[in-house]
Amino acid sequence: MEPLVLLFALPLLYLLVKIWKHFDAKRDQQCYILDYQCFKPTDDRMLGTELCGDLMRRTKNLGLEEFKFLLKAVVNSGIGEQTYGPRVVFSGKERRPSLLDSISEVEEFFQDSLQKLFDKSGVSPSQIDILVVNISMFSTSPSLASRIINRYKMREDIKVFNLAGMGCSASLISLDIVRQMFKSYKNSHAIVVTSESLTPNWYSGNDRSMILSNCLFRSGGAAILLTNKRGLRNKAMFKLKCLVRTHHGAQDESYGCCFQKEDDQGNLGFHLGKTLPRAATRAFTDNLREISTKILPITEIFRLALLTILHKISLAGSSKLRRPKPAANFWAGAEHFCLHTGGKAVIDGVGKSLGLTEYDLEPARMTLHRFGNTSASSLWYVLGYMEAKKRLKKGDRVLMISFGAGFKCNSCVWEVVAESGGGRCNVWEDCINGYPPLSLANPFIQRFGWIQNQDPATFTSL
C-alpha cells in the first residue's frame, strides 16, 4: 500500500513544487518605483514674456504674419511665464550652438536629478543593475548613458540602453524595457533617465509648422528609480499594473506628422503637421481599446458591450440623426489620470475622449502652465503635482497616457503603494500653494497684442 501511495504522491508533490516556483517567480517580476526626481532649472533660465520678445526680435526673417501666428500660438498654448529654456537662448547662440552647449544642457540635468535620487533613496550608483537613458533629439559618442556610468563609476556588468528618436512617449518605452528586463534579472535596481535636448533643436526659421515647437517645448527631465526586489515592496511608492504600447509608424500620415528636419533655408527644427490631430486620435483609440480590457472590471466591459450592441441595433432601424457611441467609464479602472502635456489642445482632446472633469485635467493643465511640454519627462511632473496636492491614496490607480513621434501612443497603470504627503519634497514644493492660479491668461497678449492691428505695408519689426 505504501509504495502505491508514494507512486501517486511524488508526482503530485513535483507538480505542486513547479506551480509554487512559477508563482514565486512571478512575484520577483513585479516593477516598483522606489523614488523619482524631476529637474527644475535655475531661475535665470525662465522664459518670461520679455525674453520671448527678445527672441522674436533676433529672428530677422520673421514677418508680420509670422508674428501674428506666434502671438496666437503662445496665447493659446496654455504655457505660463515660469517655464525654462536652454542657456543658448539667453546668450544669443540659439542659431549656432556648439556641441559643448548641447552636452552641458543634458549634463546639468543629469547631475542634479541623479544626485538627488541617490541621496534621497539611499541607493548607491554601484547598486544599479539596469540603466535606460532616453533623449530623443541629441546623441553623442560615447553615449549619454556612458557619460552617466563614467561620472558615477557604475559597475562593469550594468545592463545599458541608450534610446534616441523615440519622442515624447519615450519614458514609457524605457519603463517597458525595464519591465521586460526584470523578468530575467531578479533582485535588481534600475534607473530610467528621461529628458530632451532643446539646445541643438531651437528653431530660428520662419516655417510655421516648425516655429510652433518653440512655443511648446521647454527644458526639463526626470530620473526614476525602480526595483523588482520583493523585500523593498513596502518602501515603494508605486507598483506597475500593466503597460500597453501602440505604434502607427507603418501609416505614412502618422509617420510624417511629427518630423525633425531642415527648412528651405537649412534651419534645423521640429515639424508639427496638420495631420497630427488625426494621427493622435487613431493611435489613442487603438491604445485605449487594448488597455481597457486590462484595467476595466468585467462588469464595465459587459455593460459597454451590451450598450454597443443596442446602439448598432438602433442605428440599423432608424434613419434619424446618429447618436453618439457608448463610451467606457474609465473611472472604473483608474482614480487619477496622468496625461502628457503636449499642449492645451492635446489635454482638451484626451479629456473629452475619456469624459474627464476639470478636476481630473488640473494636474496636466497646471504642469503645462508651470513647466511647459518637457517631452518624455512631462508625465512625471504631472504625477508630482498629484503627489504635492496629496491626491494619491494607498490603493489608488493612476492611468498614464503619452504621445510621441512615430506616431506612438503608450499608456500604463500604476497602483499607489505609499500615500503622498508623507513629508517628501518634490519639484512643486515651492509653488504648489499657488496652484491652480486664479487665471491662466498669458501676459503675452498684453505686451504684444498691438501686432494684430499692424499694417503689413508699414510694419518693420518689433
Look up 22 and say whether it is catalytic: no
Query: How confident is the model at residue 8, as a pLDDT?
Result: 61
Task: Cell numbers for 394, please give them.
Answer: 494607498
The one catalytic residue in 189, 247, 248, 271 is 247
Query: How confident is the model at residue 424, as a pLDDT?
Result: 65
Q: b or e along 130-165 (b: 16 or more beta carbons within 10 Å of the residue's beta carbon)? A: bbbbbbbbbebeebbbbbbbeebebeeebbebbbee
Q: How many helices (H) and strands (E) does the chain have?
A: 15, 11
pLDDT tens profile 139-180: 898 999 999 999 999 999 999 999 998 889 999 999 999 999
Name the amino acid, one letter, at 241: K
Using DSSP's 3-state secondary structure scheme, residue 193 falls into: strand
Query: How confident is the model at residue 419, as a pLDDT?
Result: 76
Look up 187 and say whether it is catalytic: no
Domains and CATH numbers, the chain: 30-312+328-453 (3.40.47.10)
Query: How confident is the model at residue 327, as a pLDDT?
Result: 76
The one catalytic residue in 189, 336, 409, 442 is 336
The one catalytic residue in 134, 373, 410, 442 is 373
Look up 336 and say whether it is catalytic: yes
Query: How confident is the model at residue 214, as a pLDDT?
Result: 84
Q: Do the strands 221-227 and 32-38 form a parallel or antiparallel pair, or are they unpaired? A: antiparallel
| Spatial separation of the C-alpha atoms in residues 355 and 352, rounded to whole Å | 5
The one catalytic residue in 189, 248, 271, 340 is 340
pLDDT digits (tens), the chain, 462 positions: 566 565 566 566 656 655 655 555 555 579 999 999 999 999 999 988 777 777 777 777 777 777 777 777 777 788 888 999 999 988 888 888 999 999 999 999 999 999 999 999 999 999 999 999 999 988 898 999 999 999 999 999 999 999 998 889 999 999 999 999 999 999 999 999 999 999 998 888 888 888 888 888 999 999 999 999 999 988 999 999 999 999 999 999 999 888 888 888 888 888 888 888 889 989 999 999 899 989 988 888 888 778 777 767 776 655 555 566 777 788 888 999 999 998 888 899 999 989 999 999 999 999 999 999 999 999 999 999 999 999 999 999 999 999 998 899 999 999 999 876 555 678 999 889 999 988 887 777 777 766 777 766 666 655
* Other residues' Cβ atoms within 10 Å of the Cβ of residue 101: 18
Look up 189 and say whether it is catalytic: no
Residue whose cell numbers read 526659421: 205
Look up 311 and say whether it is catalytic: no
CB 79 within 8 A of CB 366: no
The one catalytic residue in 248, 369, 409, 442 is 369
Query: How confident is the model at residue 421, as a pLDDT?
Result: 58
Query: How confident is the model at residue 228, as a pLDDT?
Result: 96
Q: How is the beta sheet containing 189-195 ordered, strand by strand?
A: 159-163, 130-135, 189-195, 221-227, 32-38, 238-247, 408-416, 397-404, 336-339
pTM for this prediction: 0.89
The one catalytic residue in 31, 38, 52, 168 is 168
Task: Cell numbers for 449, please give them.
Answer: 497684442
* Other residues' Cβ atoms within 10 Å of the Cβ of residue 393: 12
Query: How confident is the model at residue 310, as a pLDDT?
Result: 77
Query: How confident is the model at residue 130, as a pLDDT?
Result: 97
